Each structure stands twice: as structure tokens, then as C-alpha cells.
Amino acid sequence: MSRTAILLAAAAPRGRSLWDDARGRLLANRAAVAGLILLALLFLAAVFGPALTPWRFDVVNKNDVWAAPLTQGHLLGADSLGRDLLARALMGLRVSLAVGVVATFVSLVVGIAWGTTAGYVGGRVDEAMMRIVDVLFALPFVFFVILLMVAFGSSIVLMFLAIGAVEWLTMARIVRGQTRALKSREFVEAARAAGLTAHQIMLRHIVPNLLGPVVVYVTLTIPGVILAESFLSFLGLGVRPPMASLGSLIANGAQDMELAPWLLIAPALIMAATLMSFNFIGDGLRDALDPKDR
């Protein structure tokens, strides 16, 4: 090849990959970008906020009982025990985000492993594995969590595992369907002809091609997990005092709503902002990764 041809080949523009195209579509979505910015601010507030506030979330001050917002040094007010609501809301946001991320990660790992194995192996193995999923789907969520907590005791780690142990079921079904569609594709047949084992094919070829729908589902699962934790905390099955989550703060605020409405309004607004940010990001990713729009 001549020197001129080499220079022209080097100067030729490279084609954009599917992930580059998806990133461009995502950044062009104003709602998704707003959700990303809001979520980043919420994560920063959850990580660094409790250490930067002048009050600790668990310090009781009888002189500040039901202090109104912007009074007695409390930006968002204080609760029935005189504890600063801002500090407790930031700690609650940290706990709720941690529950959402950790439980979703548990469901992601278990769901991908289960669904990929069932979809790729097929046959009786697929039938047996998916019947187990159907049986677990039939169990009431609250009953399952109560059963785990009665058997192993109440702790925040157990709550992570209990919610993750339920949320992986839908993930497994999605992954199984995608795997069944992918295992007959040409690149999988080529890998099988090259002598790769089933385990290698699933790790190298099936799972990477599942990332699109899985990423979208993850962004929609995290707010669902946060709502599930809030529901459990509202029933008294979530985090234990003095630790707080957004769900427990909303439950406590609902009890004192007539005397101190700010105890309900502040955590409810934070919860709404968190859920909206994840939903905006999920909708943006779904549109960006949709092959019909390319």
C-alpha cells in the first residue's frame, strides 16, 4: 500500500459504534440529562451530607421538639424528639439509595445467572428453573420478607437480601427471553463451532449482548426497590431506630402531620425527586437503546 493510501485511510472518519450512538441519543434527551444531574446531586448529598450538617441524625434535643423549619438552627425543622430533620433526611436518603443499589445488584447477579442458564440450556432444565420462578412469584412479597426476618432476625443487611431475593425473578424472565433469542444467532453458532464451552459462550457472547435491556431494567428496578423498602419501613419492618430511611421518615411524618406537616413534606419531596430522576434516566436509556429508532 502506498504512503498516500495509508494517509487517506488514517484520515478517514471512523464509524460510530452502537454504544456511541446510544450515548448521543441519551445526552440529547433533556429529561434524561436532568435526571442524571439530579441523581448525581442526590448521591453527593447522601454520601457527604450527613457529615457536613451541624447536627447528628440520632441526637435527641428536648428543647427543639417539633421546631419549625428555619428556627433554632434547624433548616428543615425537627421531629417529636428534637432530632434535626435535615440530618435525618440525608441519612434516610443514604439508606434508601443503598438499599436500592445493593438489592438491585443482588437481583442483577442472580437474575442474569439464572435466566442465562435457563435460556441457553433449554429443555427440561429451562422448564424446571422457570417453574421455580413461577412458584416464588406466587408467594406474597410481604409474607416472604416477614418469614425471612422471623427466621434470621431483623437487620438492614437482611432487608437488602430479602428485597433482592424477590426482585431477581423478573430479571431472570427478561434475561431468559433475550438469551433464547440470542443463542440461535450466527456469532453464537460460530463460537460453538470454534469449540467454546457453554459457560464460555454465555460469559463472552450472551451476557455482553444482554446489557442493553438489562441496563434499562436496572434503572427502573432501583426506584421499585426503594418503594419496596419504604413500604416495609411504613409497616415497621424496615430499618430500626435511630437509623432512618425515607420510608420510615414518611411513616413518622404521617403520624405527626397535623402538628408538624414539614416532617412529611420534606422526606416525601426527596423521595419524589429520587424516583423521578431514576424514571427519567430509565426512559432515556430505553429510547436510546431502542433499535427501532436507529
**What would the pLDDT profile of 245-290 be if each residue is shown by its tens digit?**
888 898 888 888 888 899 999 999 999 999 899 888 888 887 777 6
Task: Kindly report, residue by residue over 179-207, the tens digit of the pLDDT.
Answer: 888 888 888 888 888 888 888 888 888 88
* Domain count across the chain: 1
CA distance 127 to 116: 13
Residue 152 lies in a domain: yes
- Whether 7 has a pLDDT exceeding 70, the answer reads no
- Show contacts of 147-156: CB within 8 Å, 24+ apart: 149/237, 154/237, 154/240, 156/95, 156/99, 156/239, 156/243
Q: Supply the DSSP string of 204-236, one letter for each residue.
A: IIITGGGHHHHHHHHHHHHHHHHHHHHHHHHTT
- Whether 241 has a pLDDT exceeding 90, the answer reads no
Residue 22 lies in a domain: no
Residue 56 lies in a domain: no
Residue 155 lies in a domain: yes
CB contact at 8 A, 179 and 116 = yes
Residue 63 lies in a domain: no
The residue-averaged pLDDT of 57-71 equals: 88
Q: Classify residue 158 as exposed, middle or buried by CB count within 10 Å of its CB (0-12, 13-18, 19+).
A: middle
The pLDDT value recorded for residue 10 is: 42
The pLDDT value recorded for residue 152 is: 67
Residue 66 lies in a domain: no
Q: What is the pTM of this model?
A: 0.81
- Whether 19 has a pLDDT exceeding 70, the answer reads no
The residue-averaged pLDDT of 66-95 equals: 90
CATH number, domain containing residue 206? 1.10.3720.10
Helix (H, G, I), strand (E, B) or coil at 238: coil
Q: Could you tell me which of 105, 93, 108, 102 has the C-alpha nearest to residue 155?
A: 102
CA distance 86 to 46: 11
Residue 196 lies in a domain: yes
Which structural domain, as residue segments, surrounds residue 202? 33-51+78-293
Residue 184 lies in a domain: yes
